[in-house]
Amino acid sequence: MNHHTKLHLPPTLIAPETFVIHDHHGGDGGAPAVALNSMVIRAAEPVVIDTGMPENQDRYLEDVFSLVEPDDIRWIFISHDDVDHTGSLNALAQAAPNATVVVNWFMTERMGESLDVPFTRQRWVGDGEYIDVGDRRLHAVRPPVFDAPTTRGLFDPTTGVFWGSDSFATAMVAPTNTVYDVDDEMWVGAVSTFARYVSPWLELVDERKFVKTVDRVEALGATTLVGCHTPPVTGERVSRAFDLIRRAPWADVPPEPGQAVLEEILSQFMATIAG
């Protein structure tokens, strides 16, 4: 693996005993970066939330184990079964023998044999349920934007941190550990655009019903929003992030890159090879 060639951001403390594990894609050669984060909560029973991309496994495990000893990890919460959330799941479960993996029934069906964790080490937790981690309850709450039917976010009422999985995503000029390093205009456009890319079904929603799902999450009272594809969101941008999600189904967003963009990438690549 070549993770040492990539800019590395060390884990960021975002609340008491709560850390973001950073990874990203892009951010070099003028291309924007997209975060690929996960999280650790050092509760009485330590919790790891999502497990990153498989190609970043070595660095990911180094970062997690710099915060908590493998034998001390008691919970591995998987927000959904996409590869950028499950990349090191099997490796982490093997290294942390005392951990229970928090998934749900449909996740086990969708992952099949790629989920190498026995049922005896699983707990199935759905939207609206919780896990007791000794000194607090962490609440599984479906975020308003998602691309997999298995998705649940995770809210910690002790710290006010909400893990939104794929919600609140944004591009970044370069990897960063705070949303305030992302230009405001860029951020506003990116949150709407990523919401529509991640959840194309937003074009079909009933406004009244959809807004209720956003209100439900905002009513948790989160003071920090964290997700796989966003630096931590704090301060006045928290309420603005919810407002952007409410308006996302009707926002004017650019089309996804198509064949013309691919051909331009290939052209630049061939030019680089030709020297």
User: DSSP per residue over 193-238, as a string?
Assistant: HHHHHH-GGGGG--HHHHHHHHHHHHTT--SEEEETTEEEE-TTHH
CATH number for the domain spanning 205: value is 3.60.15.10
- What is the Cα–Cα distance from 163 to 142, expressed in whole angstroms? 10
pLDDT at residue 13, rounded to an integer: 98
pLDDT, tens digit, for every residue of 202-238?
Answer: 999 999 999 999 999 999 999 999 999 999 999 999 9
pTM of the model: 0.94
Strands (E), the chain: 12-15, 18-21, 24-26, 33-35, 38-41, 47-49, 75-77, 100-103, 122-124, 130-132, 137-141, 153-156, 161-163, 171-172, 224-227, 230-233
Dihedral sign from CA coordinates of 201, 207, 208, 213:
positive
d(CA 158, CA 93): 26
Q: Please state the φ and ψ torsions of residue 230, each to the nearest 5 degrees.
A: -145, 145
pLDDT of residue 101: 98
Edge-to-edge strand order for the sheet containing 47-49?
12-15, 18-21, 38-41, 47-49, 75-77, 100-103, 122-124
pLDDT value for 30: 65
Condensed to tens digits (0 to 9), the pLDDT of residues 229-275 reads: 999 999 999 999 999 999 999 999 999 999 999 999 899 888 888 86
126-150 confidence digits (pLDDT tens):
999 999 999 999 999 999 999 999 9
Predicted local distance difference test score (pLDDT) of residue 4? 46
Count of structural domains within the chain: 1
Report pLDDT for 26: 87
β-bridge partners, 102 = 77, 123
List pLDDT tens digits, range 36-88: 999 999 999 999 999 999 999 999 999 999 999 999 999 999 999 999 999 99
Range of the domain at 59: 3-274
Q: What angle do CA 249, 251, 254 make, to 5 degrees?
A: 110
**Predicted confidence band of residue 29 (pLDDT cuts 50, 70, 90):** low
Average pLDDT, the chain: 95
Q: Average the pLDDT over 169-193 and give the result.
A: 96
Percent of the chain with pLDDT over 70: 97
